[in-house]
Amino acid sequence: METLRFQVVGEAFKKKPLAVITPCERPARYFGCKVFNREKMYKYLPKDVYAKMMEVMDNGARLDREVADAVAAGMKQWAIDCGVTHYTHWFQPLTEGTAEKHDSFIEHDGKGGMVEEFTGKLLVQQEPDASSFPSGGIRSTFEARGYSAWDPTSPVFIIDDTLCIPTVFISYTGEALDYKAPLLRALHAVSVAATDVCHYFDPSVKKVTSNLGWEQEYFLVDEGLYSARPDLLLTGRTLMGHDSAKNQQMDDHYFGAIPERVAAFMRELEIQALELGIPCKTRHNEVAPNQFELAPIYEETNLAVDHNMLLMSVMKRVARKHGFRVLLHEKPFAGINGSGKHNNWSLSTDNGVLLHAPGKTPEANLRFATFIVETLMGVWRHNGLLKASIMSATNAHRLGANEAPPAIISSFLGKQVSELLDHIEHADVADILAMAGKQGLKMDIPEIPELFIDNTDRNRTSPFAFTGNRFEFRAVGSEANCASAMIALNSAVAEALVSFKQRVDRRIAEISKNTEFSDGHHNPVMHAIIDVLREDIKTCKPIRFDGNGYSDEWVEEAARRGLDVEKSCPKIFERYLDDSSIRMFESLGVMTRKELEARNEVKWETYTKKIQIEARVLGDLSMNHIIPVATRYQTQLLQNICNMAAVFPADTADKLSARNKQIIEEIAERTSAIEKGVDDLVNARKVANKIEDEHQKAVAYHDTVEPKLDDIRYQIDKLELIVDDSLWPLPKYRELLFIR
C-alpha cells in the first residue's frame, strides 16, 4: 500500500508535466494585459465617452444608455481583438464563491447568417436564475427572476475565451443576493462619513477611499495523495490523521527556501495574476509544512475583494497543472497551523493622505488620533458583529487555536499609540494642540517617546491590530470572501464617524455660545473635537488589549469588559440580528432587516450542511475503510498467534504472542468505540434533521453532532499508530505534509 500511494502520485506527474515558465517580458510590460483598464478604454472608446466613464468610475456619476452602448462597442472590439467569443456577468452569490453564465456574442443577422453583437443593455444587465442560489427565503424556487448589474468601478477582464464583467446580483424585488452590492453601499457610507470628518481638518477633501491589502495563506498537496483522501476531496480538510513525527516544531519551513515545484507553480500563478491586473507583491513559505502565502500591493477595497476572489479561482487551475491541489480550508490538518487571510485595512483621502498615519501639523496629528479612536469605537460597539462577519464552520477550527487570533475581537495598539490616547484623555487642550509633526508626536511629558509611522510592535494574538498606518484584521478565514468582513468593518466605522460628527457639531455650537471661551488663539472646532475624543477614548477602552489573547485569563477579562466571548458558530451569527446591527446597517443604507434575516438563514443552513457532510463522510470512511482494514490486521495477528502455537511450546508461544494479543484487544476496543460513535453520530443527525427552524437546527448540529466527530477521530488516530502501515487505506500526514 505504501508503494501504491507513491505510484498514484507518480502517475499524476506523468499526466501533468511541469511547465517551464520563461516569460520574455518583464511584469510591468504585461501587467493588466487581460483587463479593460483605463489604458484600453482610452484606446478603444471615443474621447467624450472615455471622459464620461472616468466620471462614473471616479465620482460615481450616473451611466446613461448611450454611454453604455458606446462602452460596450469598444469593449467588444477589444475582446474580439483578444480572441474572445463569449461574455459573462461575474458575481459573488451568498455561496461565498463566484458564479458566471457564459453567452456568446453571436446573434442572427436576419439574412440567414450570424453577427457578433454586444450592446449596452447586455453589458449593464443579465438575468441569472435567482432561485438556484441561496437567498434565505427572499426568492422561492418558483420565483426565478434575479438580475446581475455591471459594476463599472471594477474593471472587466478576460479568462480564456470569455469576457468577465464584475456585477452585483439582486433579486427581482431589489434585495441584494450577493456580497458586492452591500460592500459598495458600505464603502459609500464610510466615504461620506469620513469625508465629513476630514472637513474639520482639510475642507478640500472630496472623497475618502477604503483600502485593503489581503494576505492569502494556503496549503498545497500532491494531487495523487489528495485524490486518495475522500475527506479532503469532499470537505476540504482531513477528518482523521495522526500527527506526523515531524511537522512544524523545528520552525524550519517559515520563510525557508521555496521548493522547486512550488516555485514553478508560484511563477505561473503570478504571471496569470499580473495579466489580470492583480498586483502580486510577496510570496513565501508559511509556518506549517506545505503552507504558503501570497500578498498583493494595496488596492481600493472593492477591487481588492474582486481580485482575491479571482485569484483563488486562478490558484486552483494553475495548481492542477503542476500536480498540486490548493487547500483553502482554514484548518485542513489538525495539530499544525491553519490558514487565514489577514485583511490590512486603511482609509485615505483623494489628495493622498493616509488617515491612520501621523501628519506634519498639530491638526493633522489630531486627525490621526480621531480616526484611530473612531475606528476603535466602531469595533467596540460591534465587536460581536465583526466576529460574526468572519465566523464560519471552517474558520471555527482555526480561531482560538494557539496560532490564530482568539474568538474574541480586541484591538492591539502598541505602547506608543496607547500612551498617545491616554495623553489626549488627560492632558490640557493647549498641550494637545502643541503636538509636533510626522517625525514624532513630541508631547509635554518625556516618558512618551516619539511616535514613528512604522515604529509599532506587533501582537500576533490580536484579531484587530494597529500596525503603523493601518489596522490588520487577522481573523478573516483563508477561504472566506473578504467582503463579509469589509462590509461589517466599514459600516461600523462609518456609524462611529457619523456619531462623532454629530456630537462635535453640537459641542461647537455649545462652545460658540459660551462667552467665557475667549483664549483667542485656539480654534473652537479643535476644542470640540478633543472634548468628544476624550469621551470616546474612555468609552472604547474595553476593546484595547495588548496582552496575550491566547490565555484563559483573557477570556475571563474580556467577559468582564463586556466583549462578546461566545464560541458557538451558529450563536455568533445571531449578532447580525441584534437591534444595534440592524439599526446601523439600515441607517447607513447598507442592508435592510429583510436582507440581514435572509443572510442569516443562509449562514445557518450552510453551517448545518457543512457539518452534515463531514459527519456523513467520516461515518462512511469509518465503516468502509478504517474498520475493515483494522479487522483484517486483527485477523493477521490472530493467524500469527495460531502459527506461534503450532511451532513453539505453550509457554514460549504465549510469551511471543503477548504483544499481538494486546494489539488485538486494543483493535477490538477501538473498532467497537468507532462503531458506537458512528451510530451515535447518525442518531444525532436524525434528531437534528427533524428541526425545521434553520437557526435551531444549526445549534443542534453544533452542540450534538460536531463533538462526536472528534470522539470518532480520536479512536481512528490511535488505530493508525498500531495497524500495519502497508494496510492503512489513506495517505498519512507524513506523506501529505512534505512535497517531494
Nearest partner of 124 among 159, 166, 160, 94, judged by Cα? 166
pLDDT per position as a tens digit, 143-199: 556 789 999 999 999 999 999 999 999 887 789 999 999 999 999 999 999 999 999
Q: What is the pLDDT of residue 523?
A: 72
| Beta partners for residue 126, in sequence order | 148
The residue with cell 478633543 is 530
Whether the per-residue pLDDT at 649 is higher than 70: the answer is: yes
| Beta partners for residue 208, in sequence order | 349
156: phi then psi, degrees, rounded to nearest 5: -70, 145
Q: Output Rg (C-alpha) for the chain, integer angstroms.
A: 29
pLDDT per position as a tens digit, 434-485: 654 433 434 333 333 344 444 455 566 789 999 989 999 999 999 999 999 9
Q: Which three cell numbers stand for residue 520?
A: 483667542
The overall average pLDDT reported for the chain is 89
CA distances for 447 relative to 369, 423, 433, 605, angstroms: 19, 11, 19, 54
The residue with cell 459573488 is 92
Cβ atoms of 329 and 237 closer than 8 Å: yes
Cβ atoms of 278 and 296 closer than 8 Å: yes
User: 704: Cβ–Cβ under 8 A, 6 or more apart, which residues?
Assistant: 684, 687, 688
The gap between the terminal CA atoms of the chain, to the nearest Å, is: 18
pLDDT per position as a tens digit, 669-690: 999 999 999 999 999 999 999 9
Q: What is the pLDDT of residue 544?
A: 96
Give the angle subtended at the CA of 215 by the CAs of 210 and 220, to the nearest 5°: 150
Q: What is the pLDDT of residue 107?
A: 86
Position 437, amino acid: G
Whether the per-residue pLDDT at 19 is higher than 70: the answer is: no
The residue with cell 502598541 is 414
Cβ atoms of 677 and 708 closer than 8 Å: yes
Alpha-helical regions (H) of 199-300? 223-227, 230-235, 260-275
| Beta partners for residue 472, in sequence order | 344, 465
Instruction: Kindly state the average pLDDT of the residues 243-272.
Output: 90
Helix axes of 362-381 and 180-198: crossing angle, nearest 10 degrees: 140
pLDDT per position as a tens digit, 202-232: 999 999 999 999 999 999 999 999 999 999 9
The residue with cell 462577519 is 389
Instruction: Kindly state the average pLDDT of the residues 125-139.
Output: 70
pLDDT per position as a tens digit, 539-574: 999 999 988 888 889 999 999 999 999 999 999 999
Residues 42, 30: Cα–Cα separation, whole Å: 17
Cα 241 from chain centroid (whole Å): 26
Q: Which pTM was predicted?
A: 0.92
